[in-house]
Amino acid sequence: MLNKLVVTSSPHVRNRVSTTSIMLDVIVALLPAVVASTLIFGLRALLIICVSVVSCVVFEYLFRKLTKKDNTIGDLSAVVTGILLAFNLPSTISIPIVIVGAFIAIVVTKQLFGGIGQNFANPAIVARVALLVAFAQPMTNWVIPKVVNGGLDLVSGATPLAQIAGGDTANLPSLPDMLLGIRGGSLGETCIVALLIGGIYLVARKIIHPVIPVTYFGTVAVLSLCFGVDPLYELLGGGVVLGAIFMATDYTTSPVTTKGKFIFALGCGFITMVIRVYGAYPEGTSFAILLMNILCPHIDKLCKTKPFGGVKKA
């Protein structure tokens, strides 16, 4: 009688993984890039990150409070959105624009669609694209770290992708500089080494599946060769590494099945390269991920698994 069967409702398999624990792991994975951006671009980079995070948390708290819903700032998703939004901004961006971006990410993209798990696209991606369209000049005002008298100084200049698009391939940064972030770009996309450290941590912790980043990288590399451009600079020169590891892998806006993830990442890589080579913008990562986010429900429908024992309809 001591071994009675207990009948309960699902789920029957439980573990300690929660939204908060997942977001905490993502924050830990982002910390190397936070440190790198501060070392490269100075304390202003840290200021932008802090303002973005605080703004996202405050907007989420106020929205939930005003709509009389349970507050969700404790799940740390707003913190992650704030860091990712800041990573998509140049170090010269003005603080009011950062706050506007946080509003677009949290209120417009996330909360108005029902909160975490209900947003149609990655909030940081939507905010970045909206800011790029609305504030084109401030969003493309890049500075490049230069070694002056043994230290780093910031001077105005173009990103490597802009140089490639303009035909100035003779003055591209060296590959070691590309890996370490000594080049123009957004706060979080420059230091590839820091991003890869974070990506390896997330894969090791089983927070993300490697199929999306690996497929994204592979697609960009192969299409770069097809289009006659250097695959290494296409991979390292823009936001591909940041986007593939930290934004394309978002649970809510990426497919569930492995087959779906592969198709999703393939589309991201294809759209990224088409925009870079034929579009008006030298960078296409944000637009690519946003478009594939919109297509994600259709990919899930296309790739859904057949129930065990199910019979195919005639």
Separation of alpha carbons 159 and 154, rounded Å:
13
Contact 127, 104 (CB under 8 A): yes
Separation of alpha carbons 38 and 32, rounded Å:
10
Contact 74, 31 (CB under 8 A): no
Enumerate the H helices of the chain as residue ranges.
19-41, 43-66, 77-87, 95-103, 123-134, 136-139, 160-165, 175-180, 192-204, 211-227, 231-236, 240-242, 258-278, 285-302
Per-residue pLDDT of the chain (314 residues; tens, 9 = 90+): 455 666 665 555 566 778 899 999 999 999 999 999 999 999 999 999 999 999 999 999 999 999 999 999 999 999 999 999 999 999 999 999 999 999 999 999 999 999 988 999 999 999 999 999 999 999 989 888 776 555 567 787 788 888 888 888 888 889 999 999 888 889 989 899 999 999 999 999 999 999 999 999 999 999 999 999 999 999 998 899 999 999 999 999 999 999 999 999 999 999 999 999 998 887 899 999 999 999 999 999 988 877 665 565 65
And the tokens for 192?
A: 């590839």
Q: Give me the pLDDT at residue 18, please.
A: 86
Q: Give me the pLDDT at residue 67, please.
A: 94
Contact 41, 154 (CB under 8 A): yes
Q: Give me the pLDDT at residue 104, please.
A: 97
Residue 38: CB atoms within 10 A of its CB come to 16
Length of the chain: 314
pLDDT tens figures, 87-120: 999 999 999 999 999 999 999 999 999 998 899 9
Contact 174, 230 (CB under 8 A): no
Separation of alpha carbons 58 and 308, rounded Å:
45
pLDDT tens figures, 116-144: 889 999 999 999 999 999 999 999 898 88
DSSP assignment string, 206-241: TSS-THHHHHHHHHHHHHHHHHTS-HHHHHHSSSHH
Q: Give me the pLDDT at residue 99, please.
A: 97
